[in-house]
Structure 1
Amino acid sequence: MNKYGKQIKSFFNNPLGIIGMFLVLTEGIAAFVITQSQLEFTLNLILVIFIVLFPVLTLCCFVYLVIKHHKKLYGPSDYKDEANFLTTFNYVAEKQMYAEVKPNNKELKPFLDNELEKIDEEGSIVVLNNKIKNNDVLIERLEKSNIKWDFYSDTSPSEHDYDDPKESIWLGKKVPLEFAKAVLKICFQTDTRIKYIRLPEESDFFDVPEYVHREIFIGGSTKTSINRGTKPLTEELKKEILDANSIEKLHNLIKNNYIE
């Protein structure tokens, strides 16, 4: 029974499952009313027409969603690798309003816009996973350094996510050297749980979106880093990263920490 319960729970973890269950329940209830009730011919005819047309209407809406909003039809738990979800979903659109805590902060104002295009294309930004601890301290230090930041609101209820400590950093390949070092220094000093760092990776199935290359994502999946063969950061490596005098050297230090 527990097995079936988990399957049912996973069915509701993404919009596709919810749409499917809604369609089944609606059709089932309408069919039950027709067969079990003593309605007039006209009312039964209306129900029959509804049963026939409702799936067609749902199909049309579904086709529209697939064409226009396909990224929103899947939850993180549908991906075998969390990193694939991050590279296909514009998580900046689902941000958490930190302005309620510090409404008068002028540095924060540009990031309260919903559109990613409002952010300077040539600039870099730090994206924080809302599930990591010490967010307040980290945000305060980022703001003191005038570093742009934003929230990724991870609302996934997936089971594998509960025991993932989020100890990784994804460093965009086009993030400038000084910006990267400044952010990493703050991370190393603020959150001692940061153990892994990786660069975005292209695959045979998708290209990494441009905005990902300009971001530093803090709070990436620990399981993803381990599964992709990443060694934990050592104090010596952290120092070498912060002392890097070129972006190429910084990237090489990170890549050399991968397990071949």
Structure 2
Amino acid sequence: SGTALISLVDGSGNPVSVEVQSVTDGVKVKVSRVPDGVAEYSVWELKLPTLRQRLFRCVSIRENDDGTYAITAVQHVPEKEAIVDNGAHFDGEQSGTVNGVTPPAVQHLTAEVTSDSGEYQVLARWDTPKVVKGVSFLLRLTVTADDGSERLVSTARTTETTYRFTQLALGNYRLTVRAVNAWGQQGDPASVSFRIAAPAAPSRIELTPGYFQITATPHLAVYDPTVQFEFWFSEKQIADIRQVETSTRYLGTALYWIAASINIKPGHDYYFYIR
């Protein structure tokens, strides 16, 4: 009707609607009359011509420390209820596709770099918002050259949502994956960049003496669970670091190493070389 009304509960417990004459500071309401018996903090309802009725489903009610309440609710949409009750019919346009099958977009693409015996590998994973029969995936792996240009490293095609690249050299890589259907149509691609670089040198090496043994434990400045270390051992200091691999005893690869021998004696200097 264009008139603002406020509904109050009178002393008999009945709702009574009265006209709102003015609102001050957004919190003070002046009404045409106050019904008899209206109690303090009683329930009220405001009706404005600019508002329309909407239904909500209460999900949770939480009481705050200041005595107020926080209500979480989901709006009721009759159209959605009708779709659930009666089903929905779609007449989508099929222009630009063959037989109405559009290749899905690739999403959530990740690239995990691992090292195995000095060989770098990358495991790519992705998914799609829907499954379409007959769809495969095209993968394109490039590396950035020193002059900033991109060089193609490898291409692949698979029907799975994972793929492993092996025997990769150090460098900055970019992987692009897109879906393609049986007619050669391609969906929206996804790309991810990753870097394969040699591990940083240990920031410090902890030496722990023992009974006829010495334990060497390298530590990185930033912990990397994929990094291991190579160990060499010598009773003499090597002046030329380039001679370590030929002039010392190679121990092996591990996170730490224990050099144990009856020849390890107190008062003698021994040398670890770690990479």
Q: What TM-score, normalized to structure 2?
A: 0.18
Q: Which one has a larger percent helix, Structure 1 or Structure 2?
A: 1
Q: What TM-score, normalized to structure 1?
A: 0.18
Name the larger-Rg structure: 2
Q: Which one has a larger percent strand, Structure 1 or Structure 2?
A: 2
